[in-house]
Copies of this chain bind each other. A is one copy, B any other.
Amino acid sequence: MNILEVAKKAGVSIATVSRVINKTAKVSEETQKRVLDAVRELGYLPNAMAKSLKTNSSLKLTGIICTDVTDFYYARALAALERELRKRGFETLLACTGNDIEMRHKAIYGMLDKSIGAIILVGSIFAEKNPEHIKHAASLVPVFIINGIVNVPNTYSVYCDDFKAMSFCCKALSDGRRKNFLYIYDSDSYSGLQKLKGFMSTTEKSGIKTLILKCEKHSPVAEIESDIIKALQSNPSTDAVIASEDYLAAIAQNCVAKSGKRTPDDVAVIGYNNSLLAEISNPTLTSLDNNIDKICVKTVENLNRVLNGEKAPITEAVDFELIRRESF
């Protein structure tokens, strides 16, 4: 089914069909109707490939690569990115990779094959120490990383300074006379490590006692709970918990309760990302808002600039805020 068949059916040239469909020049009403009828009867759908090949407009495709859309934080990022891209007339090609490094690399090379104009990598997990694949991608199209930094030409980062943010959380707790912190995290990504470093460096300076617990992402909730409860038991004077993600903080709150302690009186809890979970938790969860929405807005602004041949900042930080609720 192509434009020629429509033209034949309507008894006109393909040029005329094209004009009618694209409303790109005056065509007599009578002819117009014949063409439109033919289009309808045949169920003709213009071939977008051929079209963009000719007009060289491309589909204005942006490739978004994300490890896991079911992660609430990434889902918010994806939603914001798609919304901002759409605003500017870009389409979104989505690839989810899971946490397997092979899949991540494959996804990047896969995207490169699709006539995309740019790649957005969602999550600092893509900011590896040896970013060969990103280097390759960036040699072909501009690459934008959400909340991660990788030092490669033609690669742009908008991020929240998670080191500072986590440091801020620690200070808030120690200002509140808390002295014995449990830190729970689940990811060794760039941003995950920044948070961890922020925690360690700040608690060390202030002479806070610390215990650090790493959980496996996607392990059963019961398992995480049991690990946290053990950690709390091994260090009964724990008076504050900081988690790298709200869901870990929410689970931790439940563990605190199960240990017969009260939040925040006995144990304060701070989460991270300020997700819906923080509002729904019982007690509601104080959480660090690292402004993922703003990160995405700025990223797409930069993308738009770069694709228009303008300059854009290589790295750009957004601010953060500790949203206080019942848990601290």
Contact = CB atoms under 8 A, between A and B. Distances in A.
A124 to B, nearest CB: 20
Copies held by the complex:
2
Nearest to A83: B96
Most buried by B among A52, A58, A64, A68: A52
Given A52-B49, A53-B47, A95-B92, A70 B76 contact: yes
A25 interface: no
Given A72-B72, A82-B95, A282-B282, A112 B45 contact: yes
A274 interface: no
Interface string A52-71: 11000011000010001110
Nearest to A114: B48
A188 interface: no
Interface stretch (A156-164, A177-185, A229-237, A249-257): A249-257
A15 interface: no
Nearest to A253: B282
B282 A257 contact: yes
A203 B161 CA distance: 53
Contact of A92 (B75, B79, B93, B115): B93
A277 interface: yes
B91 A48 contact: no
A140 interface: yes
15 contacts: A43-B139, A43-B140, A45-B112, A48-B113, A49-B49, A49-B50, A49-B59, A68-B79, A69-B69, A70-B72, A82-B95, A86-B95, A92-B94, A280-B281, A281-B282
